[in-house]
Amino acid sequence: MNGPLKAAWVLTAFVVVVGAVLWIVSGKAVFAVFIVLGLLTGAGAWITGRSLPKEDTTP
């Protein structure tokens, strides 16, 4: 897993957690948008991470 992919997963977790916490604390469903955006970010990270070519370790 490379650095940008790790950063995308951290961003995903942060956005989802913040959205959930704000939704629970405020009671406003508008914060569900944070959860959806976080899940879309995670899906993008998963798709782009799987599309990377495997590294050739043979000499």
- 8-54 per-position pLDDT tens digit: 788 888 989 999 999 999 988 898 998 898 888 778 777 876 655 66
Q: What is the pTM of this model?
A: 0.68
Contact call for residues 38 and 16 (beta carbons, < 8 A): yes
pLDDT at position 1 is 64
Query: In the structure encoding, which two tokens stand for residue 20, read together?
Result: 């959930």
Q: Burial of 15 by CB count in 10 Å (0-12 exposed, 13-18 middle, 19+ buried)?
A: buried
Closest CA to 38 of 20, 59, 56: 20
Contact call for residues 36 and 20 (beta carbons, < 8 A): no
